[in-house]
Amino acid sequence: MGSPAYLVQNYFSDVAFPTHTISAEEEATGFEPWRVADGRRSLADHWKPTTANSETWVKFDTGVAATITAVPHIVALDRGHNLAGVAALKFQLSANDADWTDLVSVTIPASASSATALDATNGATTEEGAWLKQATPASTYRYGRLLVPAMGAGLVPKIVGLWFGPSWQPGNPTMPVPDEDYEPIYEETVIPSSGWRGRSKMVPLRTGELTYKFASEAEYITARGHLWDHFRYNRPMWMVHDDAYAERAVLTVPRTERQGFGFHADWWNLRRGTIPWIEHEPLVDR
């Protein structure tokens, strides 16, 4: 068993980070680059350029030197992208917007494979078609971009969701460890004379709770930077329960109930708390 990893800070979001600037080499009308971080998972809501079969990019500028540091970061693409199988897809970093360093260079797998590590060479395609990869920058940087090579005659990249940010790795949750549960949701209707029970499409909605005990105030402050500053504002968070099985990653939002980290006598007056979560816009009847 590996360790969990979480990604909620997204440097492509100028809502989460108002000083960040998001841009692209090209943008088709109605498919602007800011859409890659608007939290919507609809195939109709994406960024795409105008010129087919041409190298292109979508980029963020943090506005401050050395914002990106040499700690583990995660790059993620939401389901609905059309980049599977494209060779030499790159995520690059730069200190000056001129000299770019490859953080990852991959060919995204077309489908999920069991026991794919989060830091695997080509990253991990999830069971629903998203993709994630963890890597550690070698230095400090200000800019980041997804660089897409020419894809072939008539083809342009379509990016529904794009994340890049520091990976929060607080260690394994406190026992008992609830992994994930499915809550099949549907609307029943009356049973007609035929005897068949009518219902809407099934939604395999995943949900769960994370319980953590922090051994120091420093651990709590780190958690607060991810959860209190971002997740509680309903900003989607990638949850990798086990970084040795990253294909099971799920995109989550907080459940509308009490959550937080308080002091508890049974934990030597250190902080303990629970993070209730629910899957964000799950696939319907897939």
What tens digit of pLDDT does each residue of 77-112 get? 999 999 999 999 999 999 999 999 999 999 999 999
| Local confidence band at 203 (pLDDT 50, 70, 90 cut-offs) | confident
Q: What is the dihedral of CA 259, 76, 177, 232, to 10 degrees?
A: 0
Beta strands across the sheet bearing 131-135: 124-125, 131-135, 73-77, 162-166
Q: Which long-range contacts (CB under 8 A, 24 or more apart) does 226-233 make?
A: 226/6, 226/8, 226/9, 226/168, 227/8, 227/275, 230/8, 230/9, 230/16, 231/8, 231/275, 232/259, 233/16
What is the distance between the alpha carbons of residues 111 and 133, in angstroms, rounded to a whole number?
Answer: 15
> Which pLDDT tens digit goes with each residue over 19-61?
999 999 999 999 999 999 999 999 999 999 999 999 999 999 9
Q: Choose the weakest-confidence range: 57-61, 103-107, 121-125, 223-227.
A: 223-227
Torsion of CA 174, 72, 143, 10, to 10 degrees: -20
pLDDT value, residue 213: 83
Query: Is there a contact between 46 and 158 (Cβ–Cβ < 8 Å)?
Result: yes
Global pTM value:
0.90
Q: What angle do CA 276, 279, 281 make, to 5 degrees?
A: 140
* DSSP per-residue string spanning 135-193: E--SS-BSEEEEEE---STT----BS-EEEEEPB---SPPSS----EEEEE--B----T
Q: Does residue 223 contact residue 171 with C-beta atoms inside 8 Å?
A: no
Is the link from the previous residue into 176 a cis peptide, with omega within 30 of 0? yes
- The tokens of 126 are what? 């999830």
